[in-house]
Structure 1
Amino acid sequence: MLKVSDDQIASMIDVDHKQTEDFLAFADNGTLVGSAMIAIEPSGERAEVAIAVRADYKHQGVGWTLLNLAADYAEDAWLPHAGGSRKPAEPEGD
């Protein structure tokens, strides 16, 4: 079985709040149920989002909520400086 090193994990979750941001979703009982990380290219022209949702919380809108939160953040924090815009995501049955 492959193992991810502590250094690899640290590099994947490192957030600088300038080019990367992370969002976490918690259930009412405090359980972490989802995560979204958004990273913008240094040019400011494109960004990528990675989303993970706990298996027993899938198909409940967690992923779409995280995607829209990340997109709203990018629009407010980054796109005004890059001169970009976005179309809002529309759920298709999560």
Structure 2
Amino acid sequence: MAQGKWATRIQVVTVFRAGKAPLKFEIHGAPTNSDDAVFETKLPTLTTEMLMPIMGWQSEADAVHSYLLTQEQASAIERLTAIPLPKDLELYISCHC
């Protein structure tokens, strides 16, 4: 039954994305072994296309998740945005529409 619910959700996302509203990205930072974000910043200038080579995404659908950033990915995003990111936190990138 869970598979049926998942399939319905995929259809809703596919229909919504057909309108091609641009994805908006943000980074959250949390101390190691914690779920409590102590850092958050929006990345208004980044597009999915700019992030694809950094993140290794094959399509826009890959962007609709949260990802733990490697130090290399965080550094590349810093260079693109000129936004300094904390070095002492685990950084996650996520998107919303």
TM-score, normalized by length of structure 2? Answer: 0.28
Which protein has greater RCO, CA pairs closer than 8 Å, 6+ apart? 2
Larger helix fraction of residues: 2
TM-score, normalized by length of structure 1? Answer: 0.29
